[in-house]
Each structure stands twice: as C-alpha cells, then as structure tokens.
Structure 1
Amino acid sequence: MIESLLVANRGEIARRIIRTAKRLGIRTIAVHSDVDADLPFVAEADDAVAIGPANPAQSYRNAEAILAAAKSTGARAIHPGYGFLSENADFARAVEAHGLIWVGPPADAIAAMGDKINARNLMAEAGVPVAPGTHDPAATVEAAIEAAASIGYPVMVKAAAGGGGMGMAVAADEAGLRVEYDKVRAFAERMFGDGSVLIERYFPRVRHVEVQILGLADGRVIALSERECSVQRRNQKLVEEAPSPAVGPQLRERLLTAAVQAGEAVGYRNAGTVECLLDPTTGEFFFLEMNTRLQVEHPITELIHGIDLVEEQLRIASGLDTNFQIKPTSGHAIELRINAEDPKRFLPGPGKVTTWVEPTGEGVRVDSGYTAGTMVTPSYDSLMAKLIVFGADRDDAIAKARAAVAGFEIVGPKNNLPFFAELLTNDEFLAGDYDTGIVSRMR
C-alpha cells in the first residue's frame, strides 16, 4: 500500500480522502491556497503546504507548485479528487514522470475521454449506444446547421472539451443554432482553450443515469451499479440517488454491460463513471460522457454496496487486489449537495460561517468542507457539504433525508436547504417519476 499521499484538492473531498488514508495508515499531505489555510482539511492532514493565492490557476491548478510540494514532503502518490487537475492528462503524465503514483486512470484514457467527439466515436466503435450527432467537430456554423438538419431539431450544442455540465446549450431551430453556436464556441475557447463544438440530438424529456466502474489492477473492468442524477439546475447536479427508481433488472444489466464495454475500450484503471441519458418513454439510453475520476456522488454507491471507493482507488493504484466482493445492492441512498447559494435562483451566496450544526442519526452521513468560524469564499465551487442518507428502501431514505435537512443548521452563507425541504415533499420526486426538468417545473 502507498505509504504517503498528497491530496491535490480542497474542502470536503480533501477531508474525505484524508479520512480513508488515515484509516489505512497512510501519511497525508494537504496543499492549500492562502484563503483556505484555516479550513478543516488542512488541520486534519499530517502535513500541509501553502501553494499560492486564491486564484485556482495559481494554486489548485498550479501543477508545478503541487509537484514541488510533493517533492518537499516526500509524498509517494497524488490523489487529485474531482475538479481542478483531476481530468488533466498532462498533469497525470507529469506526476508519473516525477516518479510518483497517480491515483487515477491512465493519462491516455483521460485524454481519450476528455474530448467529447473522440469519446463518442470510441464508444460507438465499442458497441456502446450513442445519441445521433456529429462524428467530427462542426468547424463552422454552416456545418452545424447542416448537421442539425440531418439530426433533427431540437439539438444540443456542446463544447467538445467541456465537462460537468458546462459549455452546453439547446437550439430549437436554425436561428437559435446560429446564436448558441457562437456562444458555446466562445465559451469553450475561453474556459477550455478549445473551441471545438459538437451537435447532438436533444431529448426534451430525459433522465440522467450513470454507472460506477472500477478498472482493477489485474486489468479487469467491473461495473458496480447505477446512480440517478436527474435533479439538476443549469445542467449541474443537486441530488443523486442509488439505485435509480427508473431502472429495473433488465435495463440495469444493459447499462452495466455498456459501462464495462466503455471502460475496456480505453484500458481503464481506477475509479470512473460512465454517464448516460435515459429516455424514460422508450427505455433507450445513450452514452453522454465518461468522468475519469472519483465522482462527487460516490458516497451513495458506497452505502448501497458497503464499500469504500477511495480505499479501492488506493489499492488499485498500489497494484493490490480489491478488498470487496460485488454483492447485490441493498437499501437506498440519497445525496443532497449543500451549496452556498440562495434556494430560489441558485445564485452564489458566500460568507463567513457563524453557525454549523450537522444532523446525526442512524443512516445519516455528512461529508463537509466547513465548520463554524470558517469562510466560504467566492473563489471556488459553492459546494459546502454533502448530506447523504441511507435507508432500508426509498421511502425510508426520503424520510431520513427530510429529518436530516430539518436538523442541518447553517448560518452565515446562503444555503439551499430550503430547496431540499421543498423537493422532498414534491409529488413528482416522491413518485420517482421525474426527469432533468424537475427543478425548472418547481420554479
């Protein structure tokens, strides 16, 4: 097993990784920006190194500073968490070039799946269903219009290098496509340094379902189970649950088989997620993207399988056998993303935390990045904590989630707890028959 680990991230995911590493007897090293010096993850690590100012480009995305911190502290491995450099193939290569262990998939797999067009084509070749769309970047708006005429409106205009719901827009007709193409292209160039755009069929009513995979040290790829991620605002997930209320045994088998095919097609190792769009009317599903990292919502898979995915990541990176046996899932788990944002318009509301009281009780887990007295700054994602509940079935999990939301007290930054209180009494959500438009219908 790895003896020392640098966590190249912050907040709740850094604490989450540190917690498992400590349980395994691994020495942990945190890196932090100047504004994060007082956050819990820094104090909980065995060692900590300041790597720059608040701007992520000068700290958490500063590969040179992170590698220098690893060298100065004698770190043996680097875990990137999610976001920041986690899906940066060049960084993964640099980590290994410095003689360190990369706790993630091979750089070539990251690169292959990071380009949405390349990923679509690879998946189609591997027999994974893909939505009708372009096989090459739409280099001009005229090319996009020609593709849309073949695919049929409405279409999704997507940044080929995008991810996490960023760089996407819907066009209902040619006039809308002309506008959205220019917007997405400009956004992609600014955010990702790559203005490549693809055009795909847009499904007005669709569910977002994903499958957790593990590429094992012995070369096998296994799929655990699916997660439902359809409660979203602006294509960003707010709630996830496992298993999906929309997936029965036959569909589950098809999803898991496709996910394994996707992983095998790129020689996948370590933890990853194959994301799909599910047409609830026909039962058809289509590959959306592969996230070549640990997902924010990984705890709900952990709870229904009784495993620790971070431990499995570390074991795989160390070349060790897995520490669990795949068993039928049991129970139901729900994750709520507690963000520093107002619960109506979902606009950011950072600030100093004056009160922070986490709920407790059987089946309640909180993965948090903050405590009372700490500051939620506008420099990073608004996620403050993940409230995760586990119940004997979906009704039990929802009841526990309601009680946990009522028992979570945050004063200082704005927070979206009132939204979750509303969602957990929403008839559409309670029935389990919802899609990605549920939040907009609630507003």
Structure 2
Amino acid sequence: MGKITILDLKGVQVSTAGLKIIKPPQVSAKIEIDVDKKIEKEVSLDKLIRREFEEEADKIWKMTIKMVEDKCKIFEKLFQGMMDKGEKPEVIQKNLDGLNAALKKDFEVAEIAAKQAFEKAWKNIADARKEWRNFKIKIVATIVGTLAAIAVSIAALAVSGWTGGASGAFAIIGFIKAGVTLGQTIKKGFQDYDQAVKELEGHLKVVEKAAQNKGIMATNEITAAVFTEFLGIAQPNIKSCQDCYGTVKAKYAKFVVDVHDLAKTISKIEIERAKMEKDFIAEVDKKLKAHPTKDKSAQKKLIEANLKKKMAGLDKDIAEKSKQMEALYKQTKDLAPKVAELGKRIAQLELKDMKGIKVFREALKLGTIALSPLDGNNIATKTFDLAMGLGGSAGGYAFDKITSGALEGSVFDI
C-alpha cells in the first residue's frame, strides 16, 4: 500500500469575526489515502483523480470550519448573557467545557464524513476503469482542534484576584493598630503626668507653709536633707519640689507629643482612605475595560455607590475620632497654664531658699523622690476610650469585606 496525502493543514485559526468573549480553536486536518502498490503511481500522477479527492477534502474542511464558527456564535450569546449577570467563573467554565465537547464531536463527524466522501469518490473513479474495480483504498482522516477559550481570563473575572486599594486597606489597619498603641501610651503618660502633679502639689503644700517662717523653713530643709540621705525617708523640701516639677514638665511634654502623634495617625488614616478608594476605582476601570459586559458605565456607577455605602460607617467613625482628637488636643492646651503656674510657685520658693542650705544639700548629695502610683483622671480615660474606639474600626477595613460589598450586584459579583 502507498500513502498519498490529499489535505494537510496545521493550526489554522478559525475566524474571530463577531466574537468578543470566545477565543475559537485552531484546527488541524490531515487526510490521506492508502492505495494498492499496483496503481499507486497512476493515481498519484493523475491530476484529475487528485482534483476529485481535493475537492471533496475542501468541502469537508469548509463544513468543519462552519460547524466550529456556528457553535462559537451560539455560545458567544450565551456567555454574553452570563457575564452581564455576573455569573460565577465555575459556571462559565462548565459551559465552556460543554462547547469544547461539542466541537470535539464535530471533528469526529467531519472525519467520518471525509471517509464516506472519499469512498464514494473512489467508487466513481473505479467504476470508470474496470481494471481498478477490485482495488480498495483506505482513508485516514484526522481532524483536531485546540480548546476554545474565553478571551477574558475567567480567573480575572473573579473577586479573589482584586488588589486595587488593598495596600491602602492594609496601611489603614496598621495605622489603627499604631493608634491604639499610642492611645494606651497616652493614657499611661497622662497618668504619670497626673501622678507627678499630685506629688508636686503635696510637696508644695508642706514647703510653702514652712516658707511662711524663715526659721521653720531652714529647719524643714535641713531636716529633709538629713532624713532623705541617712534614713531614706522623703520629706518635702525645695529640692524635692524642683525634682517633681522637672518630672511634671517632662511628662506633660511627652503627653503633648504623643497626642500630636495620635492626631497625625488619624490624618494618615484619612489620607490612605482616599487613596484606597482611588486605587480601587482605578482597578474597576481597568477590569471593566477588559470585561465583555456591554454596560460598563452603569457597572462603574453601581460599584462606586456600593463602595461609598460600604465605607460610610467607617468614614463616620473616623470623622468622630477626629473630632474627639481635636477635643483632646484642646485639653492639653488647657493644661499649659497649670504647668506654668506650678513653675511660678517653684520660683517663689527658690527666692526664699538660703545659700547655706543649698551648700548643705550638695554636701549630702540628695537623690530623687520615688513617686507613688495614682489613678488617671478624665483626660486619660477619654484618650484610652478614643484609641480603643479607633481599634474597633480596624475590622471594617478588612479588604475582602470591602471588596465583596463594593462589587455586590455588579458583573464582578461572582
């Protein structure tokens, strides 16, 4: 037997005209005939015989391509409707698998049709030549195609691949955590400040009373110096007031700095919130551009409305925390005169401090006074509550929840 190739096409791309969603397969076809050695040379040289076979092969090829194109057009409408409704990727994939199964069946039908057509053509040729009537031919027809695909990646249609605004959401959560930590630091800092003020006022009460009498003041200062150095007993004196005041100023300064840092942290959250929305909508634009849905404008408006709705509660919460921050900052400003007034009282005592007692203290090398623990006041409590309330907002910035809420009802809600 001798093989004669009638048709040999590889990877021919089916027309994509009118198709936006489906990427049709590439089709390959090979049709050969095996003829008896005794007539192989004659058949291969006879151009008219080859033309009959080639004409049949061309009919089979055109029929095959038309079947593929018709199937793709039918499924194109199906997929368009599914994607406009935001169908789930797995459902789209299931229907795509159905299309490929149908195309495979079409290729099998085309192979059978090729064999039947060639057998009929050979019978007509053999009938015209009596000496060929007893010779049979074997037809080998192979028609295959690559898998049809969705022009837009099915994975790209899923919400799980969304990243626009994610970095902003993560940054916001990080700032919120930092804000909570700062709030706790501020509460502790104010407690330390409040404690130092109470300690100072306790010392001032004793020393200022003693300062009303020069002799009592001298006795008090000397006794306090001796008790502190040799017995470890802290007795109020000018030095202890100065030390306490130094602590008050340091604690107040730290308290103010931390409040400013918390205010800046809340501002960073507001900035990232705006950036997050901008990045999110930018990705919406990008994905809608690549998406086969027809009404892109309506889809974008829907998503924008959903996003604002999803973020409304968080925005309100952050705005409220910002107001609380302003009130807290005002309270820190209101404390400034009190700190200054304490300084003036210290200065008045220093004017009454006697040179001999100063020398006496240096000789004894006095240490600092330990502070006793005291409860925080209203400002510390408000600061802590503000920070903890801010912490409650962190969960609302979980990016997957924001994304799913913003895309609800859109083509990406799959």
| TM band (smaller chain) | under 0.3
TM-score calculated relative to the size of structure 1: 0.16
Larger radius of gyration: 2
Q: Which has the higher contact order (CA 8 A, sep 6+)?
A: 2
Higher strand share: 1
Higher helix share: 2
